[in-house]
């Protein structure tokens, strides 16, 4: 955690919404890093028994990782935990992920629901943000449909470096449902209604300033070819070219409006 010796660990609980005793949620555990190091050292050097920490207590607190909620439009809402289900694996992405001003602006923990029509969320500080959903901005100049990130069964989401400051690129990997890899490209500084918010200060503009407000999707017609391009690390050059320089369809990618119904 910034400015402290603490570690903040996220724990996803992959429970169905129908499980009354343990609904899907995300917990956080705050660990004192120095005390953890001491406990590990004690355990290694312990002559009596394996795992003896010498009485060192390194866990400072534990509880739910969020206490407030904001929707895709950035507006506050009510946390309806009765609808959360099967939170699968997640990943922390640091600010300036790939260098100064490249990648996300803020530190984000991103995860999703591993279920048909599942949602993707982000946690920043103690607020849960919903990323999935269709925006209201007119994106006809780029792809012939409204912007947004579709609903799907999410195993994980990978942030990919675009090599420049104005966009972020995210690949989602559903392991069932559509089972279709999707690359989303987000434009930093734009809200889900397609409007610029400048520096996008404040909690209500967190998704926008991180490129998660206005998103466009590229879906391979040929999945095998997409794998080849991704692993060859050539995909971002095509994406940036298509978004910034042309509206015409390429023989490598097709524009596909997000499916959010």
pLDDT digits (tens, 9 = 90+) for 7-48: 999 988 887 655 555 578 899 999 999 999 988 888 887 766
Q: What is the pTM of this model?
A: 0.77
Q: What is the pLDDT of residue 47?
A: 66
How do 167-174 and 154-160 pair as beta strands?
A: antiparallel
pLDDT of residue 40: 87
What per-residue confidence (pLDDT) applies to 232? Answer: 41
Regions of the chain where pLDDT drops below 50: 139-145, 220-261
- The CA distance from 109 to 137, in Å, is 26
* Predicted local distance difference test score (pLDDT) of residue 192: 80
């Amino acid at each position: 955690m910034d400015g402290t010796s603490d570690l903040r660990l996220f724990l996803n609980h992959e429970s169905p919404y129908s499980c009354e005793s343990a609904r899907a949620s995300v917990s956080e555990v705050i660990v004192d890093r120095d005390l953890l190091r001491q406990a590990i050292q004690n355990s290694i050097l312990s002559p009596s028994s394996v795992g003896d920490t010498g009485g060192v207590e390194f866990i400072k607190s534990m509880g739910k990782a969020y206490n407030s909620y904001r929707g895709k439009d950035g507006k506050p809402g009510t946390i309806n935990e009765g609808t959360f289900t099967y939170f699968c694996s997640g990943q922390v992405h640091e600010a300036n992920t790939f260098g100064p001003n490249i990648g996300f602006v803020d530190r984000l923990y991103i995860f999703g629901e591993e279920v048909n029509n599942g949602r993707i969320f982000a946690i920043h500080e103690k607020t849960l943000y919903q990323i999935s959903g269709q925006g209201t901005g007119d994106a006809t100049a780029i792809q012939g449909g409204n912007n947004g990130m579709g609903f799907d069964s999410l195993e994980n989401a990978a942030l990919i470096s675009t090599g420049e400051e104005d966009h972020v690129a995210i690949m989602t990997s559903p392991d069932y449902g559509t089972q279709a890899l999707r690359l989303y490209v987000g434009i930093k500084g734009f809200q889900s209604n397609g409007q610029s918010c400048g520096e996008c200060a404040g909690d209500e503009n967190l998704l926008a300033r991180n490129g998660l407000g206005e998103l466009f999707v590229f879906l391979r017609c040929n999945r095998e070819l997409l794998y080849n391009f991704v692993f060859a690390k050539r995909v971002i050059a095509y994406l940036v070219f298509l978004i910034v320089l042309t509206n015409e369809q390429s023989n490598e990618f097709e524009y596909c409006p997000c499916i959010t119904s």
